[in-house]
Amino acid sequence: MGIEQDRIIARKGRHVAIVIAAAMILWLGANWIGQEMGLPGRYALLFDLAALAALIYAMVNIYQIWRVRQNKQG
């Protein structure tokens, strides 16, 4: 069970890393494209809120990984 749990933790960690990287790349791209197209500021706020939601999702998952590792250690 220990090795399988380590694999699950590693998979979840990779998932969180991909979510963070994708959120930042999409956020930067959306802001750049929005600025180039002259979109109103409310769209920038929408992009910011979407990125914030992705980061909150990532933080919740990081906390879950941390709790699983704490329980596993002792």
pLDDT by residue (tens digit) across 27-67? 999 999 999 999 999 999 999 999 999 999 999 999 999 99
Confidence band of 3 (pLDDT split at 50, 70, 90) = confident
Distance between the two ends of the chain, CA-based, in angstroms? Answer: 15
Does residue 74 register a pLDDT over 80?
no
pTM of the model: 0.87
- Spatial contact of 13 and 68, defined as CB atoms under 8 Å apart: no
Q: Tally Cβ neighbours within 10 Å of residue 47.
A: 19
